Amino acid sequence: MARRAYAVTGWPWRALAYLLTTGIPMAGAVLLLAPAAAVWAFVPSAGPGIGERVALAVLGAALPAVAAPPLAPALARLERLRLRLVDSRPLGPAFRAPAAPGLAAWARARYADGAAWRALAYLLLLVTVVAPAGLALLTFLLTVAGLLVSPFLSYGDGERLALGFAEVSGRGQAVPYAVLGVVLLAAVPYLLGLAAGAQGALARTLLGPGGRLRAELVEVARSRARLVDAFEAERRRIERDLHDGAQQRLLSLSLRLGLARHALDAGSEAGRTVAEAHEEAKLLMAELRELVRGIHPRVLTDRGLAAALEELGDRCPLPVTVRADLAVRPPAGVESAAYFAVAEALNNAVKHSGARAVLITARLARGILVVEVTDDGRGGAEPGRGSGLTGLADRVAVVDGRMFLSSPAGGPTVVRVELPCPSE
């Protein structure tokens, strides 16, 4: 409806078709609710006893509650077909299939499924809300039609014509109302679209997957959180095993090679071989130290995010300024996500930006950890160019965070990461 040419497209006609075919499910709703209405009609004359009236009222409410769940899937299929007139998005399955053959399994699948009861609510709304709204819309359309044709109607001597809210006695008096009808006619396509869109949204809300889909999304979010926690625990275990196991053994080996190197003649063959082995051991120590730090930096666990960012800046080949204002430590998962996001952003700045300096800021604001990495490089960073920004965004999304990128041509490039921090 926001398109400029909406009124001259086929969408108003599709909206009109959708509204007109509403009579099909509405007729089904009337047939479903008619027995209940007949029972309720006898409630006032049921006699002086309050028990009889209550029993009739309960029976009237039970009739549609018993009949609706078996009919709900057929209603949903019909509404899916009708909804295609105004909404091309697919409507996922809403009803559960019976877990096993047999009447008992079928009854459990129907009567224990919230989708069936939402379908009953949809039928009630069709009768109590949609029908009166449709009647008001029809009255408006007939009024507009009457205003448009009023100058062309025949008038007898002294005869007056009622136009709903006014009366005219001649064609001359009817012309201004016809002009008003033309003005109102321009609003008809939008009114049809609004009514059809509201009814379509109601159908999609009540007849779609609804609560089951939300429950599945909640379970997916919880399982993702469990996977993230398990991954972080495994990362720390590997870091601890490498630091306390392989790294310590390699350090011991390097010390022994150093002692052997000093004990042997530097010009002898054995001395040269031991010296080469000693240098290789020291290089391997450095590589292992970088590997351990990349898996999970010990300073992040021991001293927190601010100290870890300072160490990250010290190891960067570019001049890095760190401004961290963290009154409290964020949760471990948030700290880890922020640290590795900054590490990836620094890596991108070193490799791709041509920057001469980098500024890192970190602060807590209203339960959100905000980390920004700004470089004075050439700019023009795009996630689709293999710069690692897509992976950075994915890493942040794991902990329900958001990443923002500003990188105009000529710079500067700003990577902003916002991570929810409920402990703040």
Q: pLDDT for 302-361, tens place per residue?
A: 788 888 888 888 888 889 899 988 888 888 778 888 888 888 888 888 888 888 889 999
**Residue 283: CB partners within 8 Å, gap ≥ 6?**
none
Mean pLDDT of the chain: 77
- pTM tops 0.85, yes or no: no
Domain residue ranges in the chain: 6-209, 218-295, 303-420
For residue 424, what pLDDT band results from cuts at 50, 70 and 90?
very low
Q: pLDDT for 50-63, tens place per residue?
A: 655 556 556 656 66
Q: pLDDT for 158-202, tens place per residue?
A: 566 666 666 777 667 778 878 888 888 888 999 999 999 999 888
CATH tag for 303-420 (out of 3.40.630.30, 3.30.420.40, 3.40.50.2300, 3.30.565.10)? 3.30.565.10
User: Given phi > 0 = left and psi -120 to 50 = alpha, else beta, which region is 410?
Assistant: left
Q: Which of 2-11, 87-96, 127-136, 236-245 has the lowest mean pLDDT?
A: 87-96
For residue 365, what pLDDT band results from cuts at 50, 70 and 90?
confident
Of residues 399 and 35, more confidence is placed in: 399
Token readout for 412 is 């500067």
pLDDT at 75 over 50: yes
Q: pLDDT for 250-291, tens place per residue?
A: 778 888 888 888 888 777 888 888 888 888 888 887 777 766
**Residue 112: CB partners within 8 Å, gap ≥ 6?**
none
The rounded percent of the chain whose pLDDT value lies above 90 is 7
The rounded percent of the chain whose pLDDT value lies above 70 is 69
Spatial CA neighbour of 400 closest among 221, 206, 233: 221
What pLDDT, on a 0 to 100 scale, did the predictor assign at position 273? 86
Q: pLDDT for 371-382, tens place per residue?
A: 999 988 888 777
Of residues 392 and 158, more confidence is placed in: 392
For residue 150, what pLDDT band results from cuts at 50, 70 and 90?
confident
What pLDDT, on a 0 to 100 scale, did the predictor assign at position 216? 58
114-125 and 23-41 helices, crossing angle to 10°:
90
- Taking residues 78-94, report their average pLDDT: 76
Q: pLDDT for 109-127, tens place per residue?
A: 666 666 777 777 888 888 8
Alpha helices by DSSP H, listed for 84-130, are: 103-111, 114-125
Contact at 8 Å (CB) between 298 and 238? Answer: no
For residue 90, what pLDDT band results from cuts at 50, 70 and 90?
low
Spatial CA neighbour of 193 closest among 419, 423, 3: 3
What pLDDT, on a 0 to 100 scale, did the predictor assign at position 96? 58
3-state helix, strand, coil in the chain (%, to 5): 65, 10, 25
Spatial CA neighbour of 353 closest among 378, 382, 333, 324: 378
